[in-house]
Structure 1
Amino acid sequence: MNFTKLFVVFAVVLVAFAGQSEAGWRKRVFKPVEKFGQRVRDAGVQGIAIAQQGANVLATARGGPPQQG
């Protein structure tokens, strides 16, 4: 019985402190990772656009219609 009460009190205290904690270390660790992911995404989108333009130029040079994308 005492163990159950102790466990409940410990769980409540743990939730109270965990819920109010600041995300300082997580922010320091994951912010650069998030920025890196955004740069990779943006570079991929830009690379696809450049490849599509190159395909359009090639198709125009060959005399066909440009590719739709």
Structure 2
Amino acid sequence: MEIGRRVDHLSILIVVLFVIMSGTLVYWQVDVAGKVVSNPRNMRLCLETNVPLRGRIFDRKGVLLADM
């Protein structure tokens, strides 16, 4: 029975840790998200100049498949 009790304790520990991690994730995504986004030290600007240049895609017979 000692092994069964240890497995039960380990299972409870894993569930508790998962609930804590989930709660922390919800806290950061819901409660603090506005503060994180508006923080001037967290400016992540996506500039148009950083957009990769895309070209045409042809199949092996030379037929145009995609054009940006």
TM-score by length of 1: 0.47
| Greater fraction strand | 2
Please identify the structure whose Cα radius of gyration is greater. Answer: 1
| Greater fraction helix | 1
